[in-house]
Amino acid sequence: GESVGLHLPTLSVQEGDNSIINCAYSNSASDYFIWYKQESGKGPQFIIDIRSNMDKRQGQRVTVLLNKTVKHLSLQIAATQPGDSAVYFCAENRPWLDSSYKLIFGSGTRLLVRP
Amino acid sequence: DTGVSQDPRHKITKRGQNVTFRCDPISEHNRLYWYRQTLGQGPEFLTYFQNEAQLEKSRLLSDRFSAERPKGSFSTLEIQRTEQGDSAMYLCASSLAFGGQAYSYEQYFGPGTRLTVT
């Protein structure tokens, strides 16, 4: 399959270990944040989201933490599996012109899971 | 499979030719978005529709680009006089926005159309 990104920051973890992927955002007025997973040759797939009035949200094997003080977002994946290997993007719902919002994506982190 | 489909999946064209891509969103979704993604980058917003109305266009969308959503269902993105710099993955996403809210949240992405301009 084709590669999504050739020069991305890469996180390599052992299968079964926990993974933590970090993201910094820029706009303190952003009110909603999403983590997407993108496998080679596919579009981004929604993983988990969090609103700005929360600091933690848990899903199945995934947890998102939001620190608004330092504008930092993290994605924690428990018991990482080979199927978790992909590029992970954070996205912020940022206020734009005329009271609209736009989804602004970060540059992504490649997660490699070692068997 | 998110329910959003795009066609074609791959397109190779010569510089100067016109190309058109199609996106079929999730049927009950009223918002449809187009993004462009280059290698190593996250998707960049191009434009979006609420039903058949095109509400916003990025400055990335030059005059050579045009998008339509004639019946508020599927959408097409046309690039005229393609340039090598247009080579990228073109992604479509859809979402459901309620009432008059200025924003909608969860967007579902299609698999994308990979354009290569030679």
DSSP assignment of B11-62: EEE-TT--EEEEEE--TT--EEEEEEE-TTS--EEEEEEETTEEEEE-TTS-
Which two tokens mark B67? 């998008």
What's the full length of chain A, in residues?
A: 115
Interface contact B42-A91, CB threshold 8 A: yes
pLDDT the model gives residue B25: 96
Top-confidence residue, B90 or A101: B90
Type of residue numbered B88: A
The string of pLDDT tens digits covering residues A17-66 is: 999 999 999 888 888 899 999 998 889 999 999 999 999 999 999 999 99
Of B42, B102, B114, the CB nearest to A105: B42
Q: Are A43 and B109 in contact (CB under 8 A)?
A: yes
As a whole-number percent, the residues of chain A with pLDDT over 90 amount to 69
Task: Give A1's pLDDT tier (boundaries 50, 70, 90).
Answer: very low
Task: Give A99's pLDDT tier (boundaries 50, 70, 90).
Answer: low
Interface contact B109-A32, CB threshold 8 A: no
Q: Among A86-90, A108-112, B42-46, B94-98, where is mean pLDDT lowest? A: B94-98
In this complex, is the C-beta atom of A42 within 8 Å of any C-beta atom belonging to chain B? yes
Residue B108's nearest CA partner among A31, A59, A49, A20 is: A49
**pLDDT score of B97 more than 80:** no
The string of pLDDT tens digits covering residues B22-40 is: 999 999 898 899 999 998 8
Task: Give B98's pLDDT tier (boundaries 50, 70, 90).
Answer: low
Q: How far apart are CA B98 and CA B102, in angstroms?
A: 9
Of B40, B91, B111, the CB nearest to A6: B40
Task: List CB contacts (< 8 A) between A93 and chain B.
Answer: 103, 105
Looking up tokens 């299968």, which residue turns up?
A15
Q: How far apart are CA B19 and CA B16, in angstroms?
A: 10
Q: Are B104 and B17 in contact (CB under 8 A)?
A: no
Interface contact B40-A108, CB threshold 8 A: yes
Q: How many CA atoms lie within 13 A of B26 on its CB side?
A: 17
Neighbouring C-beta atoms of residue A27, cutoff 10 Å: 13
pLDDT the model gives residue B102: 46
- Chain B residue nearest residue A89, CA to CA: B42
